[in-house]
Structures are given as structure tokens and as C-alpha cells.
Structure 1
Amino acid sequence: MKQHTIRHFGLRKRLRQLRPSVLYRFLSLELMRTLPRRSEFGLVIAGVLVGIAAGLSVAAMTLIARTMHSTIFGLAPDQRLSGAAVENPILLLVAPIAGGILLGILLLLLARWRKRPLVDPIEANALHGGRLSLTDSLVVAVQNLISNGFGASVGLEAGYTQVAAGFASKFGSKLKLRRSDMRILVGCGAAGAIAAAFNAPLTGAFYAFELIIGAYTILSLTPVVVSALVANLVARLLSPSDAGIDVGSVGSVLPADYVPALLLGAICGGVGILLMQGVALVEETARKSAIPGYVRPAIGGIIVGLLAMISPQVLSGGHGALHLNLEANVTILGLLGLFLLKAVASAVSIGSGFRGGLFFASLFMGALIGKLFAFAAPYLGHASLAPASYAVVGMSALAVAVIGGPLTMTFLALEVTGDFPMTALVLAAVITSSFIVRTLFGYSFATWRFHLRGETIRSAHDVGWIRNLTVDKLMRADVRTADAAMPLEEFRARFPIGSTQRVILVDEAGKYAGLVLVPEVHADLVEAKDGGVLVRDVARHRSDVLLPTMNARQAVALFDQTESEALAVVSDMIGQRVIGLLTESHTLRRYSEELDRNRREISGEL
């Protein structure tokens, strides 16, 4: 007691000796660490700070990209690359090649500097509890800026969300947030990034709910929405001219318009599948070739440059080209040709190694499909909608096919048009497109790329806790072992009934040789029958073992397959050194406990 009093007095003395400014910073840091863990209000404050960081990041990256476009392609400050008339055709060819070479050099340096793969927000929330490296996020942003700035057919949205989520994860790590709160904060960063990029807070919020967090809960609603609003406000204060998408007047919607909208949604779902498979085909072709990874972006730049010489509208994300085609009267062949050029340019850009996403590219291509569909609408028996209306429907339907998030794209249409009847029409098309993709394909663009890497995740739902619940954390290490060559009589003498339930056998080399149930060995006591019998002769599951890296779900599946109540855990399949024992009942109990804890965290009960 006296020692505790002395220690407490020493702490107070050190606190008194601190300067007021240092003491204030110390107390502020402690308050920021404890407040988000103990109250929802603290998480909202953290969301505000993340929203500010997201808005600043979007404004900074947009400014850098616009400056690069102006410098490299000689554009006016207010011009968009894909909507500008670049007079020098050689520049259209050379710029993407130069960007590919520069990106290849960066990839070569990264291959020597950072060996681990870069983690994006969806993967971080699904597998790593929201933890991703801020350094890696900044690297992704630089790659995205090089790709977009030199004209590759990719948008900046991937860089926006990566940087904002990276800042959120770093901030959450400093605050030592719980796993569920960390995932929400990463969602706040992504929500702020999309809201600031499109001047659409609702779109940003539901992008976080559907694609980054993987679920909507009351606990996550306030911080995510607040972060989206704050980020959008910051971005508009810094870049008031970047006001998202302007589609103009979309006209009135009648009940009969739902039939062509549903058909357009189904078409966009099929096109989205083809587009994602096209990107995968380019990546697979490049991977199987003998071309080094750092050379591929330059080759992709050659193809994109040649396509840009046909139409500069394939360059960059497509903001300028989208507005240009929404306002102009373009022929069927012109729209079809531009769609094919943009689709090839986007697939080649991403497949060859340029960093970016298909968010805005899918919006642009969807708008082209919508305007193409407007030419066929009169032949379907109804043609009351304007081409701009079909463009909005196609824009949202193709984007949901590629990116995912039906409500995200529906709210984007609402915030772009401000028209509720039009939003309901878009919702019908979006649901149709999403249903087609989930039924026939099963993946969005991000999760499809995870699948190609061998991952099994299909959304940002938190499955990382299952992977962390591994056999080595569940098993018992204090196991009873015996020599497999031991006579049965000696085994009975060493392990009398009641001494233990199971004994693991090992051979003379120390390898696993089977599992013996002690009560079963003592069940038949006819000595003559057991004469000369070794204990290995009554062993079970001689080839059925668990590995320490298996997760609980894999262990349960193996228990079902072998119809065993317990299995031995070995170091590896080659050495098979026994390191523990795991029972099915303990595995199921721990799995249920973790599942319930995860449910309570998501619902806010913890």
C-alpha cells in the first residue's frame, strides 16, 4: 500500500513538472483515445476528422491530376482531358507511353522495396479488421495519379478512397479502436472520398455501407454520413468548380417507362460481365506472357495511345467525354464506336498494370449504352423518355454491374438529377442489373480481382476473424503420446481407463501414426485375443490430421468429413510432428462465441 502511494505521488509530481502545453497535449491525446471507445459521440468526432482528411485528399489529388493534364497535353485550366480537342496526335500517343514507362520504373523500385501486396479498403475491412498501411495507400495514390495524369483510361476514385481510408486506418490505430469501430472509420474515409469526388454525400455514405463496411447499422449511420457531409463541404470549399455530374433535364417518367428501363438494366448487367471478363483476360494474357511486369504498362500505353489517336475521349476517367456526349447529338455508329474504344482502353489500361478503377469509366460507358438504347426505344412501343434519361439509367445500371452497390448508384442518380420519379426508374434498372450479375457471375469488379488472386471474399463483410481463429489458437498442446510399436498389453498398463480419453501414437521417427481411444482399447479384455497385437493395429485416423494454419471453419469441415470427435494437430504434412489435439466440441463452442461477439459488435451491443 505504501509503495502504491509513493508511486502515485511520483506520477502526480511528474505531471506537475510538465509544461502546461505539454500537459494539455497529453490529456487531449488520452481523451481522444478513450472517447471513441466509450461513446458513439467520440466515433462521430473521429468521423468528422476523417471527413476533413478525405475532402483535402480529394481536392489535392484532383488539383494534381488537372495540373498534369494541363501541362502534359497543353489544356486550359478549366478543360477536362477526355472532353478536350488535343491538336497534336503525336502527343496523344506519346503521353500514355511515357506514363507507362514512369509507372514501370516505380513498379520496379517497389518490387525491391516492398515485397507484400498492397491492400485496398475492401480487403482491409474483410480480412484485416480495417487495418491498412498509410504508406501503401500513398503509393497507390501516386500510381493512380501517374496513370490518370498521363492519360491512361482509368479514374481517380480508387486513389481517392485508398488515401482517405489509409488516413482513417492510421488515425484509428493511434486511437487503438476496436475492430468494429476501425472498420466503421475506414468506411468513413471511403464515404468522404466518394462524396467529395461526386458532390454526392448520400452516394458516398451508401458506398461505404454496401462496399466498404458490408452492412448498414444504426451505430455506423451517424459517423459515416457526417464524414461524407464534411468531406463534401471541404472539397467544395477548395474546388467549387468540380461539381460532379450534370445531366440537365431528364423529363417526366410514366409507368410504361419501367419496361424499357428493366430491359436496359438487363443489357447493362450482361455488358458489365463482359467488361470484367475482358479485364481479366488482358491480365491473364499479360501474366502468362514472358513480358516483365514493369514493362507491361508501357505496352499498354502504346495501345491506349493508338486508341486515343482515333478518339481522345478514351483518355482519363471520362468526365469531359461524359458531359460532351450527354449534350451533343451523336449518331449510333459514333456512340457504338466510342463505347468499344473506351471499353478496350479501360481493359487494357487496368490489365497492363496502370493503377485505377472503373468507377467513372463504367458511368461513362453506361451513359453511352443508355443513349444507344434511346434509338431503339421507339421500336419497343414506348418512347416518352429523353435520351438523357436513358443515359442516367444506363449509367447507374452499368456502374452497379461493375462496381456493385445498388443503393449507392440509385442515390447517385437521385443526387445527379434531383428527380424522385427518375430515381425510382433507376432503382428498377439497377436491381435488374445487379440480379443478372449476381446470378450469372457472382462478383463485382473488386471481388472478381480477389477471386483471380485466390481469395474467397465476395464483399467487405468481416470474415477476417474467422481466418484469425486458427487451429493453433484452439488446440491443446498438453497431449498424451505413445510409441506406435508398443504392445497392446503394455499400452493398457500405461494408460488405464479413466487416465485420459485419447492418446496420439507416434512412430520411431517421431511422426504421427494414429489416434487411439483409451476406453475402446479397454472394452475387450480377452488377453489371448490380444496376444502379439500392437497398439498401432487399433489406431484410428492415421492419415487425418489438422494443420495449425487451418481456420475454425476448415477444421469443422474436416471433423464432418472424417466423422471424428477429435483430431491430432501436426506441424506440417511432411514432418508430421505432433504439436497438439483439437476436439470438435471445443471448436464449435469457440466458433459460436466469436460469431456472437462479432454480431454484437456490428449491432452496437458492445
Structure 2
Amino acid sequence: MLSFRLRLIERLMPRPGNTLWLWAALAGVVGALATVAFREAISLLQWGFTRHTGSLVAVASALQPWQRVWIPALGGLLAGTVLVLARRMPGARSAPDYMEAIAAGDGVIKPGQSLLRSLSSLLSIASGASIGREGAMVQLGAMAASVLGKSVDFNVPRQRLLTACGAAAGIASAYNAPIAGALFVSEIVLGSVAMSGLGPLLVASVSASIVIHQVVGYHASYDMPAFAPIAGADVLPYLMLGALTGLVAPAFLWMLDAAKSLFARLPLPLALRLALGGLIVGLVSMYEPQVWGNGYSVVNSILGSPWGWQALLLVLMAKLLATSATVGSGAVGGVFTPTLFVGATFGALYAHALNALVPGMALPSACAAVAMGAMLAATTHAPLMSILMISEMTMSYQITLPLMLACVSAYSVARVFRRGSVYAASLRSQRTDAGVQAIRLTTVADLIKPDRPSVTPQTSVAELAQVFARHRVQYLYVVNEQGGFVGAVSLHDVARAMAQHAVPTLFASDILLREFPALTPDMDMSAALLVFARHHGERLPVVSDEGGVRKLLGSATKTDVMLLMGASLTR
């Protein structure tokens, strides 16, 4: 029976990489629950500001013009005050956001800072600020996963990856886009689409999506009308749309940068700067209430029904001004959804212009959706993620071909005018510095895990079988009477000995692998990787030379070395 158990363990033994996927699934669950809590908090605060719930655009339209002015200003003042408190917390200067923590830090996000910044974002969003709620959702998802990783004392590579899983869960929950959410974090934040990182991110995204679908239901983020698939020569106008969007995107990012510089030069404290940004949004909303919020309802309206070109142009100009004021003032939130808004309105305007030249040449809803993806590709410099994001958010595969062409075209043109994306520009120097430091300064000593139970050369095969059955490892390390590491015994060899009924006559010394490879604590990652390359197992012992005795310190895994090397080399 014991022999059968050993053979079963040998076949079904979980690998460290697989157990990380289980933690990724849990990170997806906690990340999704964090976004659900944020959604509910927005509704609660929105009712407190306006005594209404539902779409912010509908709420703004129901309010008096004077109310639309003071509510965003008050919300900005309160949000700024909370940000001031957050900046006065101990260690506030070194507290990273999720991108910095994953790309250049140790994956640890301090809950105090994140919660205060999320409260500031809540106050801005609930009072009508022209900014996306999804940025704070992703930050909360990453923070929840970071806390989970700290609770089980993950080392740096695993902590960083688990935090990334929480961010992917936040994106998947916010946009109903699990594939694009995982690819966003992998491509933009981690800087690599290697399976060692992408696999756990996909698991986290899927588990988050399952939770969200159970809690708030399943529906496409944007509703697309039905139409015939676009193919053949009909895709050519969308290629031109992508190229034009590649010109618009850098101008949009330049406008946001200029607004930040302008507000930074104002001799006002932070709280008053956010209040001024809210006041500008309020003044704009007196004449165009559709600038409130992230613009989901407006984009759905553009996709679902025809708009006149004058209305499109007006709402586009108003949204650009309101978003620039909100972002420039320093409000906490994302520009991802406002970017989609700009893309949708520009695409619909393009359809009007094209149809004025050649009637019936373009579908306004298709042009709007394709331009959303093109705008996203041009601002993030991640065309593959953008294609998948729009496909998942609209669930409209009729636009797949023109969407692909437009995204690649927009990305290619935008790179000519702006080298850095909206995210990569702020992360490039951090990635470079952190990558060099990780290779130079990290040693095997930073990755040592407590060693599994060791055995002596005199341990019988029957006793070895009992230890293997209890601890589920591939190898047991053997130490002599002086505590020195002398080799290892394999689960496969013990299982074979048990099957041959050679138990009474065999000991660990008889099946000892004396030339078993080992790492040293001062070994760098490159040297460790070379040792792992000559060994088919996942785990290796770490030994130190103390007075001529190779003392067993613990073990390190190939997965941890690969995660650290992969994250460092892609920066």
C-alpha cells in the first residue's frame, strides 16, 4: 500500500509553479471583491452628494445648473483634503502605486496609502469628476493581492507576480475583459508576455470574472447594434481611421501633460487645486452635463443611435476640457475610459465626414468602436491588448478585421510623434534602474526557503518512504552526523526500491545521489540559472561552506529564479 502511495505521489505531485496558480486564483477573488466594494461605495457617496443614483450623466441632467457647478467643486475640495492627509502619512514619499510596485518595487503596496487615495478617488468620481473609476479599482485589487502575499510571506518575485494578479483581476472586473486584463498587466506593467507570468495573470482574471458575474451579472460593457461583418475592401476606410487616430492620440496626451504643468504652477495648495478642477468641470457641465463621470452612458448612446456631427463635436470639446481640468488638478483616477470616450466621438465624427463624401461608406457605430481601440493602441502602445479589450468589451466580432488594421495603424503613426506611452513614459527609468539592481544585487540568499525535513545516510528505505508520503517532495536531502550536506535521495528511486521489495536491505546511503547539484547563498541569478539548466528538478539545496562542512541552509526554486530574471531582463 505504501509503495502504491509513493507511485501516486510521484505522478500527482504539485509543482511550485502550479501552487502559485492557486494563489493567483485567490488573488482574483479578493481583487474582484475589492472592486465590488468600490462600486457600492461610489453609489453611496453619489447619493450623498446628489440624492440620486445611477448614471452620473443622467444625474447631472436632472440637477439644476447651479448644482452642477458646486457639487464637483465640493467633491474636489474634499478629495484634495484626503490626498493631503495621505501625503502626511509616514513613508508617503516611498509609497508606490500598483504599476511602480510591480514593475520597479518589491510588489508590496501599503494599505493605508492605497485606502486614502481610493477614498479621494471616490469623492472625485461620486461628485462628477471627468475621470475613470477603473484606475482606483485596479489599485484596490492589486493592494488586496499584495496583502494576501504578505500574509504568507512570499519572496520578492512571487510577491510582485501576485500583486500583478490582483491588478489583472481589477481590470477584468472593471471592464468584463479577462483576457485583455491579463495581457494589459503582462504587456504594459510586467513588460513580458512569457507564460511564467501570463499564466497566473489569466487565472486571476478568470476567477475575478466569475466572481463579478455572480455578484453583478454578466453583460458587455458597451452595447453594439447588429450589422454584417466588415471585410474585403470595406476595411480600407478603417485603415485611414487608425492613421488619423494615431495623430489625435499624441495631441490628447499632450493636452493632459500641459494641464498638469499648468496646475502645478498655480500658487494654490493641493486641496484648492482639486477644487478648481472640479469647478471647471462644473462650469462646463452647466452647458454640457454629459461631461460628468467616465462617459460610459454617452459612449453607449453614440454606439447605439445616430448623433449629429454638431452634437458630437460639442461633447468632444467639452469632455476634453473637463478631463484636462480633472487630470491636471491631480485628482486620483484613470484616463483609460476617457480615452475610449475620445476615440468613440472621433470615430463617429470620421463616419459623418466619410459619408458626406461617399454616402453609406461607413457605419457610425462601427467607426466609433474601431476608433476606441485605435485610440487605446495609440496611447498605450499595446495594439494586441487594445484589440482584445475592444473585442471583449463590445462582444462584437463583426469589427474584428477593421479593428486589427486600425489598432496597428494607430500604433505605428503614434510612435512617430510620441515615443513613450501614457504608462511606459513614467515606468521606463524605474524599470531600467530596478532591472539592473535586481540582476546585480539579488543573490540566492534572497530566495532561500526553509528546508524540508532532511534524512541521514542510515535512514532505511521504509523510513524514507514514510517521509516522502508525509511531505510530498521530489528529493530528500541527506546530511551526515556533522550536519554536512552529502547528497539527495530521489522519490523515484525509493518508489522503485519499494516495488522491488528491497526495503530491509537498503538505506539512504545505498541510493544516494552524491553528485547532486547545490547552490550557494552568494551565487547571483545568472549563475543559479546555469545550475538549474543542468538539473531537471524544480528545487535545489542551498549550502554554505562552514569550516570545511557544507552546511544545508535551505532550498531555492527554479520558478523564483525565472520570475526574478524574467522581470529584470524585460525592463
| TM-score over 0.5 for the pair | yes
Paired AA for residue 429 in structure 2: T
Partner of 1:547: none
CA contact (8 A) 2:28 2:204 kept: yes
Q: 1:601 aligns with which of 539, 560, 563?
A: 563
Cα distance between partner residues in 2 of 1:594 and 1:245: 49
Q: Quick check: 1:294 aligned with 2:271?
A: yes
Cα distance between partner residues in 1 of 2:437 and 2:298: 44
Q: 1:157 aligns with which of 131, 134, 137?
A: 134
Partner of 1:109: 85
Question: RCO (CA 8 Å, sep 6+): is it higher in 1 or 2?
Answer: 2
What displacement does 1:216 show? Answer: 1.2
Partner of 2:215: 238
Cα distance between partner residues in 2 of 1:413 and 1:71: 33
Partner of 2:64: 88
Q: Which has the larger radius of gyration?
A: 1
What displacement does 1:443 show? Answer: 1.6
Tell me the alpha carbon deviations over residues 549-598 of structure 1, each in whole angstroms, 9 at most, x when there is no partner: xxxxxxxxxxxxxxxxxxxxxxxxxxxxxxxxxxxxxxxx9796699899
Cα distance between partner residues in 1 of 2:441 and 2:176: 47
3-state SS, counterpart of residue 369 of structure 1: helix
CA contact (8 A) 1:247 1:416 kept: no
What displacement does 1:257 show? Answer: 2.8
Cα distance between partner residues in 2 of 1:309 and 1:139: 30
Q: Quick check: 1:367 aligned with 2:344?
A: yes
Tell me the alpha carbon deviations over residues 36-81 of structure 1, each in whole angstroms, 9 at most, x when there is no partner: 9x61221111111111111111111112212333442333x4x311
Residues 292 and 595 of structure 1, relative CA distance in 2, 3 Å threshold: farther
Partner of 2:107: 130
Partner of 1:441: 418
What displacement does 1:405 show? Answer: 2.7
Partner of 2:173: 196
**Pairwise CA RMSD:** 3.0
What displacement does 1:468 show? Answer: 5.3
Q: Quick check: 1:407 aligned with 2:408?
A: no
My pick for the range that moved more, 368-377 or 379-388, is 379-388
CA contact (8 A) 2:302 2:368 kept: no
Cα distance between partner residues in 2 of 1:336 and 1:327: 17
My pick for the range that moved more, 191-200 or 239-248, is 239-248
My pick for the range that moved more, 163-172 or 49-58, is 163-172
3-state SS, counterpart of residue 345 of structure 1: helix
What displacement does 1:381 show? Answer: 5.5
CA contact (8 A) 1:69 1:150 kept: yes
Q: How do 1:139-150 residues align onto structure 2 when only pairs under 5 Å count?
A: 139-150=116-127
Cα distance between partner residues in 2 of 1:295 and 1:391: 36
3-state SS, counterpart of residue 151 of structure 1: coil
Paired AA for residue 110 in structure 1: A
Q: Quick check: 1:324 aligned with 2:301?
A: yes
Partner of 1:529: none
Cα distance between partner residues in 2 of 1:250 and 1:309: 36
Partner of 2:436: 466
Unmatched segments (≥5 aa) in structure 1:
1-34, 474-588
Cα distance between partner residues in 2 of 1:601 and 1:87: 52
Tell me the alpha carbon deviations over residues 437-472 of structure 1, each in whole angstroms, 9 at most, x when there is no partner: 223211222334x27xxx625xxx675141456799
Paired AA for residue 181 in structure 1: R
CA contact (8 A) 2:130 2:293 kept: yes
CA contact (8 A) 2:355 2:362 kept: no
Residues 310 and 100 of structure 1, relative CA distance in 2, 3 Å threshold: same
Paired AA for residue 394 in structure 1: A
What displacement does 1:173 show? Answer: 2.6
Paired AA for residue 65 in structure 2: P
Residues 305 and 417 of structure 1, relative CA distance in 2, 3 Å threshold: closer
Q: Quick check: 1:168 aligned with 2:145?
A: yes
Paired AA for residue 74 in structure 2: A
Partner of 2:507: none
Paired AA for residue 563 in structure 2: E
What displacement does 1:349 show? Answer: 0.2
CA contact (8 A) 1:402 1:444 kept: yes
Tell me the alpha carbon deviations over residues 262-291 of structure 1, each in whole angstroms, 9 at most, x when there is no partner: 221122222221111111111111222222
Tell me the alpha carbon deviations over residues 183-237 of structure 1, each in whole angstroms, 9 at most, x when there is no partner: 3222211111111112221121212221222211222233211211111121122
Cα distance between partner residues in 2 of 1:247 and 1:206: 23
Cα distance between partner residues in 2 of 1:294 and 1:212: 30
Q: How do 1:338-487 residues align onto structure 2 when only pairs under 5 Å count?
A: 338-378=315-355, 383-448=360-425, 450=426, 456-457=429-430, 464-467=434-437
Residues 344 and 595 of structure 1, relative CA distance in 2, 3 Å threshold: farther
Cα distance between partner residues in 1 of 2:100 and 2:243: 29
Tell me the alpha carbon deviations over residues 512-536 of structure 1, each in whole angstroms, 9 at most, x when there is no partner: xxxxxxxxxxxxxxxxxxxxxxxxx
Tell me the alpha carbon deviations over residues 395-421 of structure 1, each in whole angstroms, 9 at most, x when there is no partner: 111122234432222112222343445
Cα distance between partner residues in 2 of 1:47 and 1:56: 14
Q: Percent identity?
A: 27
Residues 377 and 602 of structure 1, relative CA distance in 2, 3 Å threshold: farther
Cα distance between partner residues in 1 of 2:40 and 2:216: 8
Q: How do 1:44-59 residues align onto structure 2 when only pairs under 5 Å count?
A: 44-59=21-36
My pick for the range that moved more, 158-167 or 183-192, is 183-192
Tell me the alpha carbon deviations over residues 97-125 of structure 1, each in whole angstroms, 9 at most, x when there is no partner: 00111012213323332441542222112
Residues 139 and 405 of structure 1, relative CA distance in 2, 3 Å threshold: farther
Q: 1:283 aligns with which of 256, 260, 263?
A: 260
Cα distance between partner residues in 2 of 1:471 and 1:418: 46
Cα distance between partner residues in 1 of 2:357 and 2:160: 47
CA contact (8 A) 2:235 2:401 kept: no
What displacement does 1:359 show? Answer: 0.9
Cα distance between partner residues in 2 of 1:392 and 1:260: 14
CA contact (8 A) 2:79 2:119 kept: no
TM normalised by structure 1 equals 0.68
Residues 265 and 45 of structure 1, relative CA distance in 2, 3 Å threshold: same
Cα distance between partner residues in 1 of 2:264 and 2:36: 35
